[in-house]
A and B are shown apart, each in its own frame.
Chain A
Amino acid sequence: MTIRRVVGPFNRVEGDLEVSLAISDGRVAAAYVNSPLYRGFEQILQGKLPADALVLVPRICGICSVAQSAAAALALADAAGIAPPANGRIAANLTLAAENLADHLTHFYLFFMPDFAREDYKSRRWHDGAVARFRATAGTAHNEVLPVRARFMQTMGLLAGKWPHTLAVQPGGSTRPLQSSEIFRLHRILREFRGFLEGVTFGAKLEQLAAIASRQQLDTWHAKTGGGDLRAFLDIAADLDLWHVGRGTDRFMSYGCYQEPDRRLFPAGLWAGSASPLDVAQISEDISHAWYAAAGLPQHPAAGSTLPVAAKEGAYSWCKAPRLAGQVVETGALARQLVAGHPLARDMVAGSGGSVAARVVARMLEIVLVLPAMERWLAELTPGEPWCATHKLADETAGVGLIEAARGSLGHWLTVRRGRIHTYQIIAPTTWNFSPRDGAGTPGVLEQALAGLPASSAEPLPAMIHHVVRSFDPCMVCTVH
């Protein structure tokens, strides 16, 4: 017998999330993911002056705020046919990197790890340690990490005025010229952050971790003494076998991010056991199971619309279902590092596909890879050289901005008519990962990842479901926007 169970709110995700589970024989037979909040940014943006998008879109999301700014700035720059000067490009990289690393840290300590302090695990040998270190709001890590995070976010005070919701990220570059003493202060902040990561989070030099090229090398490193919160997670992951839980579609996508003079630090592409190029013309949004009105087939976002309806047969979410060439793809730090070709990322999914542990380790790996890049970018800034190019946007134009937020691929598609925004369509990372079914009935990534997990119709939901959900670092406010 199949029993339908609606569970929510999932907290410690950014925003609102509800999941409906069809449970049969003690397992999840099917999952239906619902994003229960609609705010209508795509409607709000219609008719606005294009530059005003830079005020509106960061406010889609308090945790991916700069990523939203960056996508809008790229879309406007694309529409205007301009590129920022070197300082502006580097400042944009630093600002996005600061947000992405802070988000990875926030996810690990505040959103994800506290689930291991649950009473569900009180018989486990690591439980007492997890309670002491990671219990929500009370663990030693929380009071230790928040001041470190706040100090690291002082990069935003210098680079972007404040966080979240800056206007410093512009199509032409940055509004914030930096002088040598400010660059030195930024350098000190990065050095202190490195000190915390190497001492507390990893118990190892970043470069040592960046060189780990396989699961086996990771296990070898894990077995050494050295402490650190990542080792605590790896202990738990091994005990709970988190390497074999939460498999999605095993098709991974990245738009690429962090613009270098001739390439992106992490490139765009697809990974599905082998690499292939990304053709963004193949993206479409299906609304067959979402509360929107539209006629006809799934639309490419450049031609898409957003018309909410109060009720619709078969619909169960405000989230549309984006597909790439009709297929479900996963996005996030793991996808980024798979596409970029990091050997550890590829080895982590080689045997058993995407998993809770692989997603968490990929986020940590990304901190390890990006902080040294930030240190390099700081050294490449040149006070006295320009920071921001001026431009004039044509009255009839269009642009696309593709970027990577902490939790995955973020795209903005903009058309301008008579000097006003005609359409503005957004596909956020969690729109991909937490999409509902499409017209063919194919479930989204999380819906697939939850299927088969143990669950009962009446007992409290097993903690494993929480781990799978949160392993994606979902941002629900971005998802629907």
Chain B
Amino acid sequence: MNLLWLQSGGCGGCTLSWLGSENGPLFRLLADEGIDILWHPSLSEACLDDARELIARCTDGRETVDVLCIEGSLLRGPLGSGGFHRFGGGAKPMVDWVRQIAGRARHVVAVGSCSAWGGITAAGMNPTDACGLQYDGEVAGGLLGPEFRDPSGLPVINVAGCPPHPDWITETLAMLAHGRLGAAQLDDLGRPRFFADQLVHHGCPRNEYYEFKASAEKHSDQGCLMEHLGCGGTQAHADCNQRLWNGEGSCLRGGYACIRCTEPGFEEPGHAFESTPKVAGIPIGLPADMPKAWFIALAALSKSATPARVRENATADHQLRAPSVKRIKK
């Protein structure tokens, strides 16, 4: 299975995240799984005319592309011309290259939230008219349109995340190489379910604080970040706290909120990223699948039952009280 990777209007961070793969030498792993990199802008030897020739062959069908990976938002501006991003060495906008190759590739993978939904580049006034391959924020559409399907019937596969975890990329590619990625393996937004059917909340080390609504009030506090500091981990689809980042990290483990970076529209949450909007003291963004009345009732109950240890540790940057030691009565 060969792979053509192009970078559109993004930061390159998805590639850099991927290079942090911790499952042994990445290039050896890819070769071992039968994945051949036809061209990658950060990694391949070929450049200039050689690269343009190779990509032209992919465009007109002289070279078959099994998987087209696109990293970065698709920039349609200014005025629909695509001129904010031309592929170096010629006048043709990147969006035209992407449209043409996507129409021939066996599968199309959006690597990262920019190429999935538009992402950060679409924030604010969206000066470049940025969108995703098959989504424009939460709305199906984007560069290729809602009806786009690859020859096997799959939509664009959205390996969302800003950036995605290296394993999300590698495992998606391996599933494609092994013929194990079908429509049933994608969620309603085209994300591989192996990571998107989890919530960031799952495995969060702040879980005891969450249970008792013992909340952090400022940066470096140990408590739950949902009530005050903007954490969306109970709604964000990803396995970040089960499959850790860079060894033993995650946003929550790093002490800051989950900003729901795998979700469409995350770049415009409608409130400050690191503060939680509330109505009458109740956070607006409730945990996924949680009825509001029950959340309020349980929160009130658990707050009143918070052990002093949990309450005191929540607003400190190190443990003030250790769990008590209970001896077995004999």
Contact = CB atoms under 8 A, between A and B. Distances in A.
User: Bound pair: A and B?
Assistant: yes
Contact of B123 (A44, A54, A460): A44
A137 B12 contact: no
A49 interface: yes
Interface string A39-51: 1100111111101
A59 B45 contact: no
A151 B121 CA distance: 30
Contacts of B11: 59-62, 65, 164, 477
A44 B124 contact: yes
A172 interface: yes
Contact of A44 (B10, B85, B86, B127): B127
Interface stretch (B189-197, B206-214, B241-249, B289-297): B241-249
Contacts of B163: 62, 164-165
B22 interface: yes
B43 A161 contact: no
A137 B123 contact: no
B254 A45 contact: no
A177 B13 contact: no
Nearest to A40: B127
Interface in B1-15: 7, 9-15
A316 to B, nearest CB: 12
A8 B91 CA distance: 11
Interface stretch (B73-81, B98-106, B301-309): B73-81
Given A11-B51, A146-B19, A383 B89 contact: no
Interface stretch (A13-21, A335-343, A372-380): A13-21
A154 interface: yes
Residue among A111, A114, A115, A153 with the highest chain B CB neighbour number at 10 A = A153
A9 B41 contact: yes
B246 A153 contact: yes
Given A146-B26, A167-B274, A44 B125 contact: yes
Contact of B45 (A61, A114, A168, A460): A114
Nearest to B274: A51
Contacts of A55: 259, 273-274
B48 A62 contact: no
A174 interface: yes
Contacts of B162: 59, 165
A46 B245 CA distance: 32
Contacts of B257: 167
A138 interface: yes
B25 interface: yes
Interface in B24-44: 24-28, 37, 40-44
A416 B130 CA distance: 26
Contact of B256 (A38, A60, A168): A168
Contact of A150 (B21, B78, B128, B261): B21
Given A146-B26, A460-B49, A111 B42 contact: yes
A39 B249 contact: no
Residue among A56, A60, A137, A143 with the highest chain B CB neighbour number at 10 A = A137
Contact of B85 (A34, A36, A110, A155): A36
Interface in B41-89: 41-52, 73, 75, 78-79, 81, 83-89
A12 B47 contact: yes
A368 B49 CA distance: 37
B202 interface: no
Contact of B251 (A34, A59, A167): A167
B20 A150 contact: yes
A286 B250 CA distance: 41
B220 A383 contact: no
A9 B255 contact: no
A176 B255 contact: yes
A388 interface: yes
B17 interface: yes
B51 A63 contact: no
Contacts of A106: 19
A93 to B, nearest CB: 17
Contacts of B126: 44
A296 interface: no
Interface residues of B, number: 82
Contacts of B81: 310
B249 A62 contact: no
B36 to A, nearest CB: 10
B84 A477 contact: no
Nearest to A311: B83
B254 A168 contact: yes
A62 B120 CA distance: 12
B7 A390 contact: no
B275 to A, nearest CB: 8
Contacts of A51: 272-274
Interface in B113-170: 120-121, 123-128, 130, 162-163
A11 B250 contact: no
A142 B25 contact: yes
B13 A65 contact: yes
A6 B123 contact: no
Given A56-B120, A62-B14, A177 B272 contact: no
B204 interface: no
Interface string B297-324: 0000000000000000000011000000
Contact of B25 (A7, A65, A143, A153): A143
B19 A136 contact: no
A7 B48 contact: yes
Nearest to B44: A136
23 contacts: A8-B87, A9-B89, A10-B48, A11-B42, A12-B42, A12-B43, A39-B128, A47-B125, A59-B11, A62-B163, A63-B12, A63-B13, A138-B27, A146-B27, A150-B19, A153-B20, A161-B251, A164-B163, A166-B251, A172-B219, A177-B255, A310-B78, A388-B220
Interface of A: 6-12, 14-18, 34, 36-40, 43-49, 51-52, 54-56, 59-63, 65, 106, 110-111, 114-115, 117-118, 135-138, 142-144, 146-147, 149-151, 153-168, 170, 172-177, 179, 308, 310, 318, 383-384, 386-388, 390, 460-461, 466, 477
8 closest A-B pairs by beta carbon, nearest first, are A161-B254, A62-B13, A8-B88, A157-B249, A154-B247, A9-B88, A175-B255, A157-B246
